[in-house]
Amino acid sequence: MSGRPLPPLDTVLDAARVVTIPTRTRFRGVSVREAVLLAGPEGPSEFSPFVEYDDAEAATWLAGALDFGWHPQPAMRRDRIAVNATVPAVDPEAVPGILARFPGCRTAKVKVAERGQDLAADVARVRAVREAMDDEARVRIDANGGWTVEQAVDALRALASFDLDYAEQPCATVAELVAVRDALAGSGTRVRIAADESVRKADDPIAVARSGAADLLILKAQPLGGIPNALGIVAEAGLPVVVSSALDTSVGIAMGLRLAAALPEELLAGACGLGTVALLDGDVTADSLLPVDGAIAVRRPALDAALLERHRATPEREAWWRERIRRCYDVLVQRAAAVG
């Protein structure tokens, strides 16, 4: 963690508002997104680890949320961030409608390896994206670690003809990523490998770079404990970076934009995955961070009281999240004590 002091727990809980927002399309198994919005002195922040994550993992997300809400952030190098369209694991016929939600975007990231689907479905979806965009557009895929090494190699050989920008997290482990890269190189298949979960879920986020398992890194600010921590990983890894989101509200997207804005020019590897508010059927601000001409201006929108009330979680879910904050806060206090 960044080592900056935590605000008092009572202050955090007083600043917390829990919301439940439906998604427009089922996305990585999620049809309703829950999040805690925090009204911090530096501006709104967001705590939104997925509900299945344990307290140890979720605590790092809380550290990121508290750092963004209660502390100044690193200087910006740019004020506008190009973003990619994000295409869930939909049928090919739905692709044009999804892409229409991302006006001006010249890059698309396509979800593949969805549970219950096969390679033929992935190929059809990626083909539909490539056909809907011209040959100059970039197409990426994201498997969320869903393939074995053999499945990944077969899939990437089949998908390479669509001129992929990169394949994100084709397998779950660093060793598997190394094996995929070696197999592709041996067969002459050129597809760059990007690491996401192997960074943000790892005890050692630099291991993926040290082992030569990836060509670039996908970074998310909140799961990495905040922007200063993420920038530290970038400096140590020395690999190009794409900043992404975790189906955040505009408040969480603002954190990602600020991270992308702080990256050195030579390490920002193209459009970032920060346009995903377009996949939500609602938001917590009247100034949603949505792409315009393929990019989003770096800003921190204000919370809208009426929208917070409209999307307010049930009392049961609010109690669940508040208790989760208490547990995760305790984890952060224990980590700080162990360090110092």
Residue 135 is part of which domain span?
80-297
Q: Strand 16-27 relative to strand 30-40: parallel, antiparallel, unpaired?
A: antiparallel
Q: Are residues 130 and 165 in the same domain?
A: yes
Q: Is residue 1 part of a domain?
A: no
Locate the DSSP E strands across the chain. 16-27, 30-40, 43-47, 80-82, 85-87, 107-111, 138-142, 164-168, 193-195, 216-219, 241-243, 295-297
Query: Side chain identity at 333, as an amino acid letter?
Result: V
Tell me: is residue 203 an annotated ligand-binding position: no
Q: Are residues 35 and 65 in the same domain?
A: yes
Q: What is the pLDDT of residue 133?
A: 95
Q: Are residues 61 and 86 in the same domain?
A: no
Residue 38, Cβ neighbours under 10 Å: how many? 27
- What would the pLDDT profile of 180-212 be if each residue is shown by its tens digit? 999 999 999 999 999 999 999 998 999 999 999
Instruction: Count structural domains, the chain.
Output: 2
Is residue 325 within 8 Å of residue 16, measured between CB atoms? yes
* Ordered strands of the 30-40 beta sheet: 16-27, 30-40, 43-47
- What would the pLDDT profile of 27-63 be if each residue is shown by its tens digit? 777 899 999 999 999 999 999 999 999 999 999 999 9
Q: Is residue 335 part of a domain?
A: yes
Q: Is residue 140 part of a domain?
A: yes
- What would the pLDDT profile of 128-146 be if each residue is shown by its tens digit? 999 999 889 999 999 999 9
Q: Are residues 226 and 274 in the same domain?
A: yes
How far apart are the C-alpha atoms of 108 and 100, rounded to whole Å?
A: 11
Q: Are residues 66 and 197 in the same domain?
A: no
User: Residue 142 pairs with which residues in a beta bridge?
Assistant: 111, 168
pLDDT surpasses 60 at 71:
yes
CATH number for position 18: 3.30.390.10
Tell me: is residue 142 an annotated ligand-binding position: yes
Q: Are residues 206 and 319 in the same domain?
A: no
Catalytic member of 109, 111, 300, 311: 111
Q: Are residues 68 and 85 in the same domain?
A: no
Is residue 173 within 8 Å of residue 202, measured between CB atoms? no
109 annotated active-site: no
Q: What are phi and psi of 43, to 5 degrees?
A: 130, 175
Q: Are residues 154 and 282 in the same domain?
A: yes
- pTM equals 0.95
């009330």: which residue's tokens? 309
Q: What is the pLDDT of residue 161?
A: 95
Is residue 279 within 8 Å of residue 88, measured between CB atoms? yes
* % of the chain surpassing 70 pLDDT: 99
Q: Is residue 89 part of a domain?
A: yes
- What would the pLDDT profile of 278-318 be if each residue is shown by its tens digit? 999 999 999 999 999 999 999 999 999 999 999 999 999 99
Residue 130, Cβ neighbours under 10 Å: how many? 20
Q: Is residue 43 part of a domain?
A: yes
- What would the pLDDT profile of 245-276 be if each residue is shown by its tens digit? 989 999 999 999 999 999 999 999 999 999 99
Helix locations, 103-223, DSSP H: 119-132, 149-159, 174-187, 197-200, 207-210
Q: Is residue 169 part of a domain?
A: yes
CATH number for position 156: 3.20.20.120
Tell me: is residue 135 an annotated ligand-binding position: no
Residue 75, Cβ neighbours under 10 Å: how many? 7
Can you read off the two tokens belonging to residue 232? 């530290």
Is residue 319 within 8 Å of residue 313, measured between CB atoms? no
Q: Are residues 236 and 264 in the same domain?
A: yes
Q: Are residues 117 and 261 in the same domain?
A: yes
Q: Is residue 3 part of a domain?
A: no
DSSP letters spanning 119-131: HHHHHHHHHHHHH
pLDDT band at 244 (very low <50, low <70, confident <90, very high): very high
* Residues in contact with 150: Cβ distance below 8 Å, sequence separation at least 6, in sequence order: none
Catalytic member of 101, 106, 125, 220: 220
User: Residue 168 pairs with which residues in a beta bridge?
Assistant: 142, 194
- What would the pLDDT profile of 1-28 be if each residue is shown by its tens digit? 567 999 999 999 999 999 999 999 887 7
What letter does residue 282 receive in the DSSP assignment? Answer: -
Query: Side chain identity at 262, as an amino acid letter?
Result: A
Q: Are residues 96 and 210 in the same domain?
A: yes
Q: What is the pLDDT of residue 29?
A: 76
What letter does residue 280 receive in the DSSP assignment? Answer: B
Which 3 state secondary structure label does DSSP give 274?
coil
Which 3 state secondary structure label does DSSP give 1?
coil
Query: Side chain identity at 41, as an amino acid letter?
Result: P
Q: Are residues 111 and 187 in the same domain?
A: yes
Q: Is residue 2 part of a domain?
A: no
